[in-house]
């Protein structure tokens, strides 16, 4: 077993846009309430698909948040429409406003549509992303560079008494929070090209992904499903209950 605290919480109201660092969230069957409940679609080879920062890095310059600084007060089953601000931060629109669609089309240089699904639209439905401070700091040492944790778009960033990269060996483990929320680790998170983009400048750093691929099986962080929902807050105590020997070791794949 490993123990520690929830160091930081993140919610991403619009897929591939900058999100919110919040003090508390509500967790339900679909994951963090309001996480990726909105997305942009485009036409690709005759089909409508989500447009992400892989195809349009400029999306990372746009910021999405929920009105009234909602934290755990957000109902996971009925999140409000997100508020979206342009890269300059001068204009903000409510999701669904046709002026937002027009502004995005001008900035991205392509026709788009705005879609909403209160259940969320992560790449892996119904799961949350967990990263750890030990692994983040180890990666910084390996690459000899400061790395913004926002590159990895986690929901929960944990500080634990576990060694770096140990979480890659935790599938099946239970992550239990102080006030009753419980998650089950499903798998390591295989990374795509999105973390190679700086969240502020969108400048590309391909060495980040090539290093993860060569040294750690292209993985960073783990995906988990919700066993018991409720409220989770920064600073909350957390423990990881592993059921196999690999859960306590260093898995540096």
* pLDDT 10s digits, 198-217: 999 999 999 999 999 999 99
pLDDT of residue 71: 87
Q: What is the pLDDT of residue 227?
A: 97
Q: CA-CA distance, 147 to 195, in Å (whole number)?
A: 10
> What pTM value is reported for the model?
0.92
Q: Find all residues with CB under 8 Å of 120, minimum gap 6, and list them.
A: 30, 31, 32, 34, 35, 36, 37, 126
Cα 148 off chain centre by:
13
What is the Cα–Cα distance from 239 to 221, expressed in whole angstroms? 16
pLDDT at 46: 85
According to the model, what pLDDT value does residue 149 have? Answer: 97
Average pLDDT, integer, range 193-202: 96
Domains of the chain and CATH, by start: 2-12+124-248 (2.40.33.20), 38-116 (no CATH)
Cα–Cα distance list, 197 to 86, 112, 120, 169, 205 (Å): 18, 22, 23, 27, 6
The pLDDT of residue 244: 58
Which pLDDT tens digit goes with each residue over 90-117? 999 999 999 999 999 999 999 999 999 9
Residues found in the chain: 253
DSSP alpha helix (H) spans, 153-223: 206-216
């Amino acid at each position: 077993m490993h123990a520690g605290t929830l160091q930081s919480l993140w919610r991403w109201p619009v897929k591939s846009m900058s999100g919110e660092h919040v003090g508390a969230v509500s967790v339900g069957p679909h994951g963090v309430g309001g996480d990726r409940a909105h997305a942009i679609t485009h036409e690709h080879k005759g089909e409508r698909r989500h447009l992400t920062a892989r195809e349009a890095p400029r999306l990372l310059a746009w910021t999405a948040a929920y009105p009234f600084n909602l934290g755990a007060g957000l109902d996971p089953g009925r999140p409000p429409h997100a508020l979206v601000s342009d890269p300059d931060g001068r204009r903000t629109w409510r999701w669904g406003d046709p002026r937002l669609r027009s502004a995005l089309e001008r900035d991205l240089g392509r026709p788009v549509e705005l879609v909403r699904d209160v259940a969320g639209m992560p790449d892996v439905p119904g799961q949350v992303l967990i990263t750890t401070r030990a692994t983040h700091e180890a990666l910084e040492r390996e690459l000899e560079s400061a790395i913004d944790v926002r590159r990895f778009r986690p929901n929960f960033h944990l500080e634990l008494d576990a060694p770096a990269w140990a979480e890659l060996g935790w599938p099946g483990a239970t992550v239990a929070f102080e006030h009753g929320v419980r998650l089950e680790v499903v798998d390591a998170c295989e990374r795509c090209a999105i973390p190679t983009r700086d969240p502020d400048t969108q400048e590309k750093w391909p060495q980040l992904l090539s290093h993860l691929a060569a040294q750690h099986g292209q993985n960073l962080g783990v995906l988990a499903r919700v066993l018991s929902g409720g409220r989770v807050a920064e600073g909350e105590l957390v423990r990881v209950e592993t059921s196999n020997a690999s859960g306590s070791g260093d898995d540096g794949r």
